[in-house]
Structure 1
Amino acid sequence: MTARVSHTSVDCRNAYELSEWWKGVLDYTDLPDDPNEPGHEECMLVSRDRTHRILFIEVPEEKTVKNRIHLDLEPVEGSRDDELARLLAHGATEVADLRGKYGPGTGWVVLADPEGNEFCILRNHAEREAAKGPAE
């Protein structure tokens, strides 16, 4: 027997506001039969291909330490740096810039959403391939 991930849950102070923010990051949508509305204590988002869901759940506790689990995002269109600029303009906060950590053209940037939940923006597939250089 095995299990599968039903959805990713995110504890938060305001489920509706944070789910709306992440919609703009991921291009996810509300569940067709359960739209999210202001005041909802639980808000579910689903990817457009319906393969991943994220549930935002209101909790009374404030975030106090670094996340033990987080999302690593890969740009669908544009470069890592293009996506970084988009996310900063969308309201993300830069936590750590690790671009170039393993040499030119490598690395990632750690960001935080409006409630302080960390996530990373990685290089896209083409950027990773280009950094490999020609085969020896």
Structure 2
Amino acid sequence: MATRLCNVVVDAAAPAAVGRFWARLLGLTAVVEDDGEVGVALGGGLDLVFVPVPEPKKVKNRVHLDLASASEGDQRAIVSRAEALGARRVDIGQRGVPWVVLADPEGNEFCVLEPRDEYLDLGPVAAIVVDALDPRASAVFWSHATGLPLARSHDEFASLRPETGPWLEFVRTTTPKSVKNRVHLDVAPGPGGDTRHEVARLESLGARRADVGQSAVRWTVLSDPESHEFCVLTPR
């Protein structure tokens, strides 16, 4: 594996507050960094990171988290805990589904799933879900970007399955991307890796350089073939 998935990054008006929400909801610990970022370690080398931005959320996020539950009672308990912490139920067009769609205090959508065997023993987060016009093609690109194997592929969705931790899934949408994503993924080479080499490799697979206002930073901002921004970090 040349690069691996290491962060799910969320733009936030108040990183400390929304980071505390997610840490309490997931039963984890939030760590505040000197630059104002807040990290919540999900395990397996994957972090949920909240970064300060001035821009408000305008549209439905194209990347969201699905939370796992062990039973119908557990699902109800997770929803109740989320609402007590400040989440609210939202309508994104779902009808008659067994999962519950919520938004965190900054409006970031997430789902609390009904019990599913494939997500047992993964921890509180079942999957990182990305809207895609072509789920199969997106899954193939991200398999190369993360080293995760393709576990299932259909016209409507495709999934990458790690040995531990959340799945990375792509769900079909007919709505094109219109603004910069407020939630993006970071990948990084392993120790001794070469970021420039990995950037070139990803560009050969269809990634493009992206300008999101970054200045002199140590990472490289790219967009995938569906224009979802992501960062290639330094080796770690």
Bin the TM-score by the shorter chain.
Answer: 0.7 to 0.9
1:60 paired with 2:54, answer yes
Rounded Cα–Cα distance in structure 1 between residues aligned with 2:70 and 2:22: 15
Instruction: Find out whether 1:110 has 2:105 as its counterpart.
Output: no
Equivalent position amino acid for 1:12 in 2: A
Instruction: Quote the Cα distance in structure 1 between the aligned partners of 2:56 and 2:18.
Output: 14
Give structure 1 regions of 4+ aligned residues with deviation exceeding 2 angstroms.
Answer: 49-52, 75-79, 96-101
Displacement of 1:14 in angstroms is 0.8
Ranges in structure 1 where 5+ consecutive residues have no aligned partner: 102-106, 129-136
Measure the CA separation in 1 of the matches of 2:68 and 2:55.
30
Q: CA RMSD in A?
A: 2.6
Deviates further, 75-84 or 86-95? 75-84
Do 1:14 and 1:41's aligned partners in 2 also have CA atoms closer than 8 Å?
no
**Structure 2 length-normalised TM:** 0.44
Does residue 94 (structure 1) correspond to residue 100 (structure 2)? The answer is no
Q: 8 Å contact 1:10–1:55 — kept in the other structure? A: yes
Aligned counterpart, 2:209: none
Partner SS for 1:63: coil
In 2, Cα distance between equivalents of 1:12 and 1:61: 9
Q: Which amino acid aligns with 1:17?
A: A
Residue from 107, 119, 122 that aligns with 2:113: 122
Paired residues, what number?
116
> Residue type of the partner of 2:62?
R
2:67 to 73, 90, 99: 73
Residues 1:51 and 1:76: Cα distance change in structure 2 (over 3 Å): farther
Q: What is the aligned counterpart of 1:36 among 13, 16, 32?
A: 32
Under a length normalisation based on structure 1, what TM-score does the superposition of the two structures give?
A: 0.72
Q: Which runs of 5+ in 2 are unaligned?
A: 120-236
Amino acid aligned to 1:36: V
Which residue identity is paired with 1:55?
A: V
The amino acid that maps onto 2:109 is: E
Amino acid at match of 1:88: E
